Structure 1
């Protein structure tokens, strides 16, 4: 479905606009473990997450007909920001339906970038409304993760990791809908098949684990997690197949673990990460991942779009 050449082409498409994000050592965690832990800091990407990679690749490879209809999307927040920014760069209109409890920080940010943002129900309700708008308005749907152009753009993260961390033995990546880890997986299997690729989900939104269990995408009746950026109720057909092919292991983390990991990233790594970006760190702190005998562990920190109110609800005072 996707080749290494496709992902390299996508990276070239982004190269004049999106810079590589830094890879930093998590010194406190490295000191307490038997291996070096390095953090791929995607929170420093444009709009504060990895999402502009896929969105910009999509709009730059879209036809004029696709763009002229206006773009439609469903998002918990980061895809909204990334697509609004990318659409503005090519003069396209974007309409985005977000759950009613979406972060005000993200909804306001998407509107400031020129998108029409509609708040509606939960994530399943938001999808129902978007499909209705596609029919009524003729919008071109830009799926947040189950689109090969989106996945190819996200795969540029994997290309950067392999260049920045030649001693990587394990890559740990959050999973929402699975677009990011799918792109990384294609790169890893093509260039460094010896690297273990591990996906991490919140217990309350483990849609990829459910898909693996059911043998295909299966909609969760309810999503409940503080990691709203990972709150996809249903993984995609593409992302399911790609993850089954390229991901070695899935683990889940609980809400307390996510909160503690977020606090660790802020206080020890000095990274203002959002909850969904902290699940990889949570898996390490909880000992849910077997550490390699040699080589580095790279944890993808996917975004940092969080306001003070959200942080206050998650901060755990020291005992």
Structure 2
């Protein structure tokens, strides 16, 4: 993928999706002796970065792709973004989510008009969706392994380049790899000195598994409070993009994610979901090797969680 695909995506979605802010994490900045900025995608439409890719997909879709309706598998944020974008073109959307999906995201997706089916774990959800694509004639909109989705997510990288001219590192949560892949396309072309670091939950480290296996390979089980990152397998597109553009992959355990959630809530006054907190967790745990100088940007990918889910981290 070329950077022009990301730049064209930005042109398509810019009037609907304004840039999200960078917020200085004063506590982490003092601790590390350098500015640590939080890219707050929690303020994006539908509460996460996923609106970017979904809107770019819808605005490049052919009529033939839309006539039978759209289908997707999602832990929730892709469902919200796709339902929101599809509603603008009055296109029906069917989403299969794992049975342990966030009730907040399920209810939000239904409120945006999506049909939501809860089924099994993430692997079982994919099996059912493939069956429904055949039976109903749905067009599958993959949550991360689709070049139009990746290009839309990459618009976040263009914003970081403009907003943080002194940044030398970006820490990005990794689930299926669409976001870090898109950011990598942008940063490698426009600021190759930036170090792009991926952060995964230890219980769902599908990208590290792919790196170890030499290609996408399915995890038999994923188990993490960071459900938005619980992809069992990375993509045929996202794997090579990660190998090309990502300098380092690290993982953080459940306790570290809990500590990062409390840090965000109490120190930065920012609400985030667990999957959005893993980059902060990596800094708190000194889990990554940062460049010797320069600002650090941490992508806080979203904040879609209900009161009961949030209470677990208080």
| TM-score range normalised by the length of the shorter chain | over 0.9
Which runs of 5 or more residues in structure 1 are unaligned? Answer: none
Instruction: Using structure 1 for the length normalisation, give the TM-score.
Output: 0.98
1:34 is matched with which residue?
33
CA distance in structure 1 between the aligned counterparts of 2:241 and 2:163, rounded to whole angstroms: 24
CA distance in structure 1 between the aligned counterparts of 2:285 and 2:153, rounded to whole angstroms: 27
1:100 is matched with which residue?
99
Displacement of 1:293? 2.2
Secondary structure, aligned partner of 1:11: helix
Per-residue CA deviation, residues 73-95 of structure 1 (Å, 9 max, x unaligned), is 00000000000000101110000
CA distance in structure 2 between the aligned counterparts of 1:38 and 1:193, rounded to whole angstroms: 19
CA distance in structure 1 between the aligned counterparts of 2:193 and 2:54, rounded to whole angstroms: 30
Answering whether residue 24 of structure 2 is matched by residue 4 of structure 1, we say no
1:220 is matched with which residue?
219
Answering whether residue 148 of structure 2 is matched by residue 149 of structure 1, we say yes
CA distance in structure 1 between the aligned counterparts of 2:145 and 2:99, rounded to whole angstroms: 22
Aligned residues: 314
Displacement of 1:311? 1.5
Answering whether residue 145 of structure 2 is matched by residue 124 of structure 1, we say no
1:63 is matched with which residue?
62
Which runs of 5 or more residues in structure 2 are unaligned? Answer: none
1:49 is matched with which residue?
48
Displacement of 1:159? 0.1
CA distance in structure 1 between the aligned counterparts of 2:14 and 2:186, rounded to whole angstroms: 17
Displacement of 1:223? 0.4
Indicate if the aligned counterparts of 2:170 and 2:195 stay in contact, CA closer than 8 A.
yes
Secondary structure, aligned partner of 1:198: strand
Indicate if the aligned counterparts of 1:221 and 1:233 stay in contact, CA closer than 8 A.
yes
1:201 is matched with which residue?
200
Per-residue CA deviation, residues 42-99 of structure 1 (Å, 9 max, x unaligned), is 0100000000000000001000110111000000000000000001011100000000
Displacement of 1:313? 1.9
Displacement of 1:167? 0.4
- Show structure 1 runs of 4+ deviating over 3 A: none
Displacement of 1:276? 0.1
Instruction: Using structure 2 for the length normalisation, give the TM-score.
Output: 0.99
Per-residue CA deviation, residues 3-37 of structure 1 (Å, 9 max, x unaligned), is 11111000000011000000111011111112110
Displacement of 1:307? 1.0
2:17 is matched with which residue?
18
